[in-house]
Chain A
């Protein structure tokens, strides 16, 4: 407990809030690298996930690949990339993108899949083109799960971006490494607390977004559905076991 207090005292020490490598600077770097990683990985994963979710094709492949990516140890990838690319942000950014891909992919395709096939058929019957079905029906309805994937990816990125400091002079991980190497545990714990707080804040933000993106029409029925589940599944085949409210 004492150490925890030391860590908090370290955070509150005004000396750590100014100068080179100050707390605000490190937080800004941490956010910048996290945002960069999130944007790159989202640009890769969301279109693929959307396409797979819409067509239902290539899912085995995507699931297998993202399972494989998940098994890739981030530290190993980081050290290997570092040997190739040297110090700087390239290696950590690539390693973190690989980390973020599986949850983003999963969120995107299961978000689209969670949409009732009858709704999609109805949209098609109304004469919507495939692009319109994706943009106007599937994505809005699947949005809570898609955002859930983004949320999960972001949490992992922020927590793991500390490893960037192993290779680059960047982010809140610097406090953890510097503290570890100089046995300044107050600094190390202070840095860790900052990472946790940052993750909490961002996660809270996503929780709010996740609520806001539920389409208004769906929101009303969703809450009711939660308690009075239909006694028997209507269409057993192809229906995920726990469909419905992602909360």
Chain B
């Protein structure tokens, strides 16, 4: 009994240690851990990353499939959080291709930038990126911050532009991700550029269904929703014009590492060139309304455009 028990316990310990090691191995061999991708520029594997944002994942998947169609090997590292999490990984050379947005990315590197037009933003972005990173051509597709109100609100108050908000007498609350509160185009920007006073309610779903519901329920009157969001159209929201250029133009643009050769760049530039603003809204709608996977959406789009 004694030795048998002891033997079993040793076996237990061995199983436990073995399983831990094996699973830890699995964990580090997890698709998220790109440790293996860095060893050797000789391997032709290109690491494509994406934000934790469904629309961004679709674009990344299009890049990935386009590259695969052209004979490259792709390692997908999708849905890695928000900018503050993945930018350090791109800078460390862990990721080679990442879909980004010109305006938002510029603001990350140059928080107090004054550029607003798409050309100015792109030009400044090119010079602001850290050593070893560059952006390829920007697409005409945009996905930028925009302030939206309900149709009823717009009609009742005669508001179609941010400037019109100044004449609204009822108190206004702006809803958006918590970082919006401190961004130049947040409440302070509205005040200084358009003379509009707003309160702020943070809603952490990046202009998703919670934000939308809060707007429809009149918990907030003004919300920040990305311009390519199909919900704007589906819910008959009015995107307020921005005559003074409070928002930065933000086009889809790939950020790439030094590993990206001219051939790779050409493939991705072809994609960027073909992707229009309307396309992006339509692709997003397929994801939200039809609940299609990024894989499917990307495959269908590439087939439809027959780029390669």
Contact = CB atoms under 8 A, between A and B. Distances in A.
* In the complex, A touching B (Cβ < 8 A): yes
Interface of A: 82-83, 86-88, 165-167, 169, 174, 177-178, 180-183
Contacts of A88: 219
Range class of the B interface residue count = 10 to 19
B202 A169 contact: yes
Contacts of B213: 86-87
A174 B178 contact: yes
Nearest to B208: A83
Given A169-B202, A178-B202, A83 B209 contact: yes
Contacts of B178: 174, 177-178, 181-182
Contacts of A166: 204
B182 interface: yes
Contacts of A167: 204, 210
B65 interface: no
21 contacts: A82-B210, A83-B209, A86-B219, A87-B201, A87-B213, A87-B219, A88-B219, A165-B204, A166-B204, A167-B210, A169-B202, A177-B178, A177-B204, A178-B179, A178-B181, A178-B202, A181-B82, A181-B84, A181-B179, A181-B204, A182-B179
A82 B217 CA distance: 14
B52 to A, nearest CB: 12
A87 B219 CA distance: 8
Shortest beta-carbon contacts, A-B, top 9: A181-B179, A86-B213, A178-B178, A183-B84, A87-B214, A182-B179, A181-B178, A166-B204, A169-B201
Given A177-B202, A182-B182, A183-B84, 13 more contacts: A86-B217, A86-B219, A87-B203, A167-B210, A169-B201, A174-B202, A178-B178, A178-B202, A180-B84, A181-B178, A181-B179, A181-B204, A182-B179
Given A178-B179, A181-B84, A182-B179, A86 B210 contact: yes
Nearest to B220: A87
B214 A86 contact: yes
A166 to B, nearest CB: 5
Interface in B195-209: 201-204, 209
B127 to A, nearest CB: 22
B177 interface: yes
Interface of A, helix, strand, loop or mixed by DSSP: helix
A179 B183 CA distance: 13
A78 to B, nearest CB: 11
A81 to B, nearest CB: 11
B67 to A, nearest CB: 31
Contacts of B179: 178, 181-182
B306 to A, nearest CB: 38
A230 B204 CA distance: 58
B81 to A, nearest CB: 9
A167 B36 CA distance: 37
Contacts of B210: 82-83, 86-87, 167
Nearest to B201: A169
B108 to A, nearest CB: 9
A181 B177 contact: yes
A186 to B, nearest CB: 14
A29 B106 CA distance: 36
A165 B181 CA distance: 15
A181 B205 CA distance: 12
A82 B214 CA distance: 11
A178 B175 CA distance: 14
Contacts of B182: 182
Contacts of B181: 178
Interface centre among B177, B178, B201 (most CB of A within 10 A): B178
A88 B217 CA distance: 12
B235 to A, nearest CB: 14
A181 B177 CA distance: 8
B88 to A, nearest CB: 10
B82 to A, nearest CB: 7
Contacts of B84: 180-181, 183
